[in-house]
Structure 1
Amino acid sequence: MPLVSVALLATGVPAAPAVAAHEQQAAGRDQEGIGIRLVDIPAARVNDPRARVYIIDHVKPGATVSRRIEVSNGSPDRQEVELYAGGATIEENTFTVPEGHGGNELSGWISLGSASLDLAPGQSRQVEVDIEVPRTASKGERYGAIWAPVSSAPKRNGNVIQVHRVGLRLYLDVGPGGEPPTDFRVDDVAAEPGPGEFPLVTARVTNTGGRALDMTGTLTLTKGPVRAGPFKVTNGVTILPGQSGRVQIEVDQSLPAGVWDVRLVLTSGVVERTAEGRITLPVATRAAMQSSTPGWLVYSLGTLVALAALGVFAAWLFARRRSSRREVDRQPA
């Protein structure tokens, strides 16, 4: 398979919760100065922005995938960098990695040209990554990551070793024939309170294709001659085939009140879809909504009070009638 070189920093995968260590991911470079990036990608995917930062491919059972990655040391200190392959899953629309060296079927197929690198300040080295898919591999997409962690010595008067790691995601689809299509549908555009002072515009994305999605995109708002944006997607969600997820865009700008036209352009790889709609600004903040009594609750309480009053009146009327009947019965015939 023809390969071409790329020169973009790879996007780090989300951090897994630490137990006795601190793990922090960054976009290709962590706070200790360790960077990792792809060196080459398949020529057929040169226009795919995801393939420039992740290892993405579709192969038949029995095939071998080969890539090169580059690990660099941007810190002022010499670093001993470990390299290993780990497993990953997609849970609740999040690319999820386990703690430590947890693996899966895909990570067991991966072999690295080196298990560790001794890098001087400013030094970088390339490492071969080979993925050997068994002939008996079942059909489907697998997920994993190539990790490059470093450990720092405990701070003075401390005994906790800090571990920092950056990584590259892997999306490998296995199966006979051509690659499953990538496609999605966008609907249900709405505005809702944000975590701060600015509102969120959200939309539901349904994965109608056969590969996992990593959603990015922009939002533009117009109201007559006034135009705002573009605002970028603020929660990158990963959506499995057949599932739905909600993208969020924070409108981090004060805008005039009224009805705004929405144009939302979402992408995953080379696939792009557009959704349009209308929202009304301003949107009440979460704090205001939580502090105020919901209208449905006021209505329900009013209904209960009215029913209670009606019940008391009915009981009084019934008691009065019984009393009248007793008075009549007491009169002499």
Structure 2
Amino acid sequence: MAAGNHSTVTEFFLAGLTEKSERQLPLFLFFLGVYIITVVGNLGMITLIGLSSHLHIPLYYFLSSLSFIDLCYSTVITPKMLVNFVTEKNTISYPECMTQLYFFIFLIISECHMLAVMAYDGYVAVCNPLLYNVTMSCQVYSWLVVEVYMMGLIGATVHTGYMLRVVFCKAKIINHYFCDLFALMELSCSSTYINEVVLFCLSAFNIFAPILVILGSYVSIIASILLIHSTVSRSKAFSTCSSHISAVTIFYGSAAFTYLQPSSVSSMDQGKLSSVFYTIIVPMLNSLIYSLRNKDVKSALKKSLRKDYFALTKIYNSWRRSSKEGVQR
């Protein structure tokens, strides 16, 4: 190991989700299916929003960014975990581990703030609809997206920078299925007090600051919805918000359970189970929630499928006609 890393460890062993061999194949097949749905769902969402002109508004641009984040951070974690299910020696090199940690933190923090930005967008749409195009202009949208990724970049740089200072000279086995902060700190033979303080402070900020934005936005949204006299309009507004509320509840609940417990209280086995939700399950659920519960997305999907069906039918009929003409000749 290079002297700058202050570590005698060149690689780690990932313990994974379970040590029981009879569970490896079923878990591999389950998470492979989840990952395929995640990739297809999020790529499909990005493509659909890009191709559907009536979805070219900030709400769906934010949703496209959320799908991109979900796709990326699921890809940072899941493929390596799938490989570990079918190999005997579950190793990851020190540079690969730090790289995985960096991108995971960058994307997970970006997701926290993207969900808050989407809540703010909903607040502007419901509470100030006449000023929506001015308030959520292209410039404002672009700045909000840049700020989301900047928060992720800052958090990932700080966490990974302090982790690079940690001396690893104990056991090399990471009691997790990826390089997580808590699991890595357990292997340290140097003080991790600063790491724990930084982890708690940044986690609190990156969880509670977006939550305050989300709660403030939804208090105003609900108050505005209750003033709507039309039952149909009120139901439509609640339906639009319900998708985002579902995504926020699942994501923040599992993330808060993992990162806001003192290390003396939290259990790594509990941490692994809660991590499964926000690293693997949530990226799949977000695409399903927004595609199945959003009327605009469902309408765009139906139009796209109908258009593809007619195009394929036209190609097929053209091919049949040309085949018949060839036989007659």
- Classify the TM-score, shorter chain: under 0.3
- Under a length normalisation based on structure 2, what TM-score does the superposition of the two structures give? 0.22
Task: Report the structure, 1 or 2, having the larger helix content.
Answer: 2
Between structure 1 and structure 2, the one with the greater Rg is: 1
Higher relative contact order (CA 8 A, sep 6+): 2
